[in-house]
Amino acid sequence: MQNVLLKALSRALVVLGLCGSVAHAQDRVKELAEYQGADRQVRLIEAAKKENGITVYHAYPALSNVMTAFTKKYGIKTRAWRAGSEAVLQRLITEARGNRFEVDIVQNNAPENEAAHREKLLQAVRSPLFADLIPQAVPAHGEWTGITLDVWIAAYNTSRVSEEELPKRYEDLQDPKWKGRLGIEANNHGWFGTLMAELGEERGREIFKNIVATNGISARKGHSLLTTMVASGEVPLALTVYNWNPEQMKSKGAPIKGLALKPVIAQPSTVALLKNAPNPASAILFYDFIISEEGQRILQDFSYVTTHKRLPHPLRDASLKYIDPAKAIDMQTAWLSNFDEMIVKKAK
């Protein structure tokens, strides 16, 4: 009996020690993240010298170029793991619940990082560089920051679709001339839910019901795949690709162009600091770097719409309609169901 009690006490002490260690680490992350003194930059650089680089989980391919530039500037090594947005979020949650704290920075879509905020995984950062960003990039809680805007546009094959027949609005896609020529990304329920609200639920549903019934639509998983199919001519007109998809392929000589149909829907792609980041000073330096004009120009070079005010972009200056990340989480089930029933299940 005594041995059992001793083992239980030992386990309890280990748990208490772990909790104390985690709490201490969180205090250090919070202190560095919220510090706004004049010596902030110097303090972060000095503290980073005692750390071991940073680990970044991300969804954007181009983020590797930002990490390379960051290492070149500060001499701080970066380790990266890249996956789809949902996989990145799930790994964060799984590791946190297992008391495994190895990641410092996460880059992900706004709804996924908003979910990480709700899971209490993130730490707010008080960066002096926020003043250079558009208002939509900085939420009230401050636990993530928009680095670019994911802007959904249409894309068309210039050999298969003439400029004269291009649609000017979604209603135009009800014309029978589009029969067998339309494609859509199969997971764009957030875009669809926001679009329906902008068009008016009844009117929006009627328009897309007619489009699908009259002309059919093919649903493909992956914006890059769908863009490739437009470039090859297999899908003459795609309704939902990210704005940089056709731009990147066009720069390589593909017969493809983007087309912004109003209302144009967008959401921030974001960066966040983990509450239990093992290398917080280095991570905050990276956080600042990616939202600085220097880091933002790297993303702009890959045709991303940045959130920096001094880097203008015609799409950002348009009358964009933003997906509300919190609403996207709350409405996910309903939006998924509507999109699946109206579009995906009827896709050809």
Same domain, 133 and 154: no
Q: Identify whether residues 44 and 185 lie together within a single domain.
A: no
Please check whether residues 129 and 194 belong to one and the same domain.
no
Domain identity same for 34 and 142:
yes
pLDDT value at 135 more than 70? yes
Whether 316 has a pLDDT exceeding 90, the answer reads no
Q: pLDDT tens, 196-237?
A: 999 999 999 999 999 999 999 999 999 999 999 999 999 999
Percent of the chain with pLDDT over 70: 93
Please state the domain count of the chain: 2
Residues 6+ apart with CB under 8 A from 234: none
Residue 11 pLDDT: 55
Which pLDDT belongs to residue 132? 97
Per the structure, the complete domain to which residue 296 belongs is given by 2-149+269-317
Query: CB burial class (10 A; 0-12, 13-18, 19+) of residue 28?
Result: middle
CATH code of the domain in which 91 resides: 3.40.190.10
According to the model, what pLDDT value does residue 22 have? 62
Which pLDDT value is given to residue 20?
A: 53
Q: Are 123 and 226 in contact (CB under 8 A)?
A: no
pLDDT at 9: 47
| Same domain, residue pair 247 and 341 | yes
Query: Do residues 18 and 107 both lie within one domain?
Result: yes
Do the beta carbons of residue 306 and residue 147 sit within 8 Å?
yes
CB 106, CB 274: distance < 8 Å: yes
308 sits in the region (left: phi over 0; alpha: psi -120 to 50; else beta) called beta
Same domain, 333 and 203: yes
pTM of the model: 0.88
Tell me, yes or no, whether 7 and 41 share the same domain. yes
Question: Do residue 252 and residue 300 come from a single domain?
Answer: no
Residue 5 has pLDDT above 50, yes or no: no
Judgement on whether residues 25 and 119 belong to the same structural domain of the protein:
yes
pLDDT of amino acid 26: 83
Task: Please enumerate, as own/partner, the contacts of 139-145 that have beta carbons within 8 Å and a separation of 24 or more.
Answer: 139/114, 139/325, 141/117, 143/113, 143/116, 143/117, 143/272, 144/110, 144/113, 144/114, 144/116, 144/117, 144/270, 144/271, 144/272, 145/270, 145/271, 145/272, 145/287, 145/291
160-175: pLDDT as tens digits = 999 999 999 999 999 9
Q: Are residues 61 and 140 in the same domain?
A: yes
41 shares its domain with 136: yes
Q: Quick one: average pLDDT of 152-165?
A: 96
